[in-house]
Homo-oligomer: A and B are copies of this chain.
Amino acid sequence: MSKRTGVLELAVLGLLHESPQHGYELRKRLNSMLGTFRAFSYGSLYPCLRDMLGRGWITEEGPAAAGTPALSGKRAKIVYRLTAEGKEHFQQLLTEIGPSAWEDDDQFGVHFAFFARTEAEVRMRILEGRRRRLEERLDYVRASLTRTRERLDSYTLELQRHGLESVEREVRWLNELISSERAGATPHAGESSPVSPTETTGGPSPAASPS
């Protein structure tokens, strides 16, 4: 009984919620959705699918059954489809959020990726929890930095500075998101929001290295 409480499961549930897929495609969509944020390998995906199958959240369809028509020739091997239990479990995971949804970088990232399916109230809780968490981290690191500044060489100091700025940027990003959420009930719910290619959009970006 492996526990599988990881991010992968949530991500797979979310992707299969959109449409049934087979493993190979799933992995590509997964890594493409998460962008620079994270990447998974087959060695974790397939065992995860097997587990989810065992729990009844998904079913698999062999190559014989042709469910969806209008698909070009490509007949994939095994198509995984979300069950009713799977959908329910997904919604539960999205709603019953704990601190890990903002404490853990990965968890937060995946939760954020599915914000379009998340209730506004829950979104706000996650964004604010995340912001609080990062501000605590900033306080702590800044404090220990002022205590030990003189003992650090300039490269280490530079690493610290860059790290701090990364986190500060993420906080600013969260601030904007939170304002946006408060202002427009659901600012972007629809399609094709223009990602402004405006040259200088400030420049957030924390990412840096997750812990």
- Please list the residues of chain A having a beta carbon within 8 angstroms of any beta carbon in chain B: 32-39, 105-106, 109, 112-116, 137-138, 141, 144-145, 148-150, 152-170, 173, 177, 187-193, 195, 197, 201, 203-211
Contacts and interface: CB of A to CB of B under 8 A. Distances in A.
Nearest to A197: B150
B35 A145 contact: yes
B201 A154 contact: yes
The 4 closest A-B pairs by CB, nearest first: A166-B207, A166-B205, A154-B188, A154-B203
B113 A209 contact: no
Given A141-B35, A163-B35, A193 B157 contact: yes
Given A162-B173, A211-B161, A204 B36 contact: no
B211 A38 contact: yes
In the complex this chain forms, how many copies of it are found? 2
Nearest to A108: B209
A112 B187 contact: no
Nearest to A32: B144
A125 B164 CA distance: 25
A172 to B, nearest CB: 9
Contacts of A32: 144-145, 148
Contact of A150 (B163, B170, B192, B210): B192
Contacts of A188: 153-155, 158
A163 B197 CA distance: 15
18 contacts: A32-B144, A35-B141, A35-B159, A36-B208, A37-B208, A105-B210, A116-B156, A149-B195, A149-B197, A150-B191, A153-B188, A155-B188, A157-B193, A157-B203, A162-B204, A162-B205, A165-B203, A165-B204
Given A153-B187, A168-B203, 10 more contacts: A33-B152, A112-B159, A153-B195, A154-B187, A154-B201, A155-B188, A157-B201, A162-B207, A164-B211, A167-B207
A206 B144 CA distance: 22
A206 B154 contact: no
B37 A209 contact: yes
